[in-house]
Amino acid sequence: TVRFKNELERNITIKLEPLSDELIGRLTTSPAELAAYIKMTHERYKINGKRRRNSADSPPDGHRLKQAKISSYFNGGGTTPAAADGGKFKQRNIEYYFNRNGLHKDHETNGLHERASRSMTPKLSRRTSVASDAGSVESGSSSTSRLRVRRKSLTYSDDSPSRTTTTTTTGTPVAGSGKKRRSAAPPKANKDGEYSVESIVDIQEISNAPVFEIKWRGYSSKSNTWEPLANIRTCNAINEFLQWQLESYVETINEIRQELGETEQYREQVTLHETKSFKQILAEYEKFDPLAFDSDMVLYAKIRANYAKNKRLHDRILANVGLEMSYRKRRDQLVKMKQFEDMINEFEPSSKIAVENDEDSDVPQENFKYIKENLAGEGVTIPDDPPYGCECEQCNFRSDCCGKMAGSKMAYNTKKRLNAPPGMPIYECNKRCRCSADCTNRVMQNGRKFNVSLFKTNNGRGWGVKTNQTIYEGWYITEYIGEVITYEEAEKRGREYDAVGRTYLFDLDFNGSDNPYTIDAANYGNIARFINHSCDPNCGIWSVWVNCLDPNLPRLAFFAKRKIEAGEELTINYQTQINESRAMDVSQDEEGQPQTEQPSDDGGPGRGKPDPENLTECRCGADNCKKYVF
């Protein structure tokens, strides 16, 4: 700020502000830009005088002298008629200045449009995509979003869009020519009286807040307006513009962050952040305004690039770094969960899986490989060539279908719902059968038909799976898939898993207690790997054979034991085992009653006798909870 006295001994104060190179270029090459900027500046620093002058009074001598000096500068020594209109006089002076210096009046092209034409990627939304890749400043997403704009005193000219709402779509801009752009048809608002944003040109600070210069689609640069952040918050272009600006000033911003990190206030916020609970981090994530923070950072970087400082901006940024820490931590978590969600849904195109965690900062295991069918481990071969298949035209409980041919019976009713007691082996139609792919006896092999969510439980049971829609008794849920390994390898891995208190081993012991094979879903598997234990489960386990008819290599299918409401967690009993002596009695026991599942005496299906030292507390919350899971 510079203060001095003029020739009339009046105090004069001049405030210098750093302007961007793009804005300086426009102001020195376009009279329209300069006039609009002067008008905006007058409005910005307008002071309501206490004295009022009668409009009929003639100006004082000092004022006439000031006008004469201005006229002499622009007109080469000429004077201004006393009756000249002030606004027209100012415009003529500006135009004469440009003409005298050989500058083209209509030249409005600026370097920002040329630099902004490079390709970038748009930023993700706050909850679903929290990664903020950069996008082209001038060309954004084809999707449109709505915003409401109040244009009062910040308009560049009178030919700007007159309605108060706009549809923010972004597209490739055309560099301004200084004249109003002509097109085959004049620009029109849509049926809601809304206009489209073509690009965001610049950012400045007015009244301690960021404002953005907007180029409207279908209008020349003379119609640009300055809009506050609140008016363009939902516009796709704002994310792209700020990302581009952050990249342009990345070195200066890194210096700013380094300086902030050396302050005592910053270190205190880091220490405080480390003690915050996840619920506090969630609350601060919702409270933090990343657009406002990035806008302040860009403004401060521009000021610092001009070797100046702004204590107000500095303090505002420093006051919000704690919120930014929480925001970045939650955003990074959401990004990783979205990446995991996208990965598993590549294998489940017919039924989606959502991933959510509102309990802690944990993310799914990053090295987990999602697979659609069992993977044969070392020393294991899974046959895929069935020796026979049915000749049914339409498979049903009366036909000689695969179940009857294997000594069992048809496991599904006409609605493809399970109709088999626990322990009954299920033989689905295989690739040698004559029936079609939509045969009643093809259920598990056609996959799950409803959406589920992978979520973090709130009682220390880790990740769980819940259904997003109502499931009825007998519906197929999913298959337990993983790496099929030998008994010896399972014993070796079991000791390692017991040491860390977590195991995903599932013995294939339907054909006897020797169980030569085991499924390990620790590193390879599907959604079934995350289904938790319950002493009162809503899902049951059945052994199923399709193309592999080796009795020692069944596939494990989960079916609903009862109606399961939307939002309810899916559970199985880890300790369920069917009595081998009655496993092949597919209809009834000695007293003519259907078989029931019996609790296993070992630590899960076929894992041997329970070790008292490896007891795990059960947290299922069921009324019949056994308190421990072996």
Coil vs helix vs strand at 398: coil
How far apart, in whole angstroms, are the C-alpha atoms of residue 317 and residue 36?
Answer: 31
Cα–Cα nearest to 375, from 546, 555, 502, 527: 555
| 539 assigned ligand-binding residue | no
How far apart, in whole angstroms, are the C-alpha atoms of residue 508 and residue 487?
Answer: 10
Write the DSSP symbol of residue 186. Answer: -
| 618 assigned ligand-binding residue | no
| 548 assigned ligand-binding residue | no
* Residues 203/213, Cβ–Cβ less than 8 Å: yes
How far apart, in whole angstroms, are the C-alpha atoms of residue 558 and residue 572?
Answer: 8
| 235 assigned ligand-binding residue | no
* Residues 76/16, Cβ–Cβ less than 8 Å: no
Judged on CB neighbours under 10 Å (0-12, 13-18, 19+), 412 is: buried
How many Cα atoms are found within 13 Å in the side-chain-facing hemisphere of 389?
19
Residue 248: which residues within 8 A CB-CB, separation 6 or more? none
Residue 342: which residues within 8 A CB-CB, separation 6 or more? none
| 620 assigned ligand-binding residue | no
| 390 assigned ligand-binding residue | yes
Cα–Cα nearest to 420, from 552, 579, 580, 583: 583
Q: Which amino acid is at 306?
A: N
CB atoms within 10 A of CB 213: 22
The H-or-E segment that residue 490 falls in is: helix 487-500
Q: Which amino acid is at 567?
A: G
The residue to which tokens 């657009």 are assigned: 291
* Residues 479/445, Cβ–Cβ less than 8 Å: no
**Structure-block tokens of residue 273:** 């952040």
Q: Which amino acid is at 487?
A: Y
Binding residues: 390, 392, 395, 401-402, 429, 433, 435, 439, 535
Annotated binding-site residue numbers for Zn(2+): 390, 392, 395, 401-402, 429, 433, 435, 439, 535
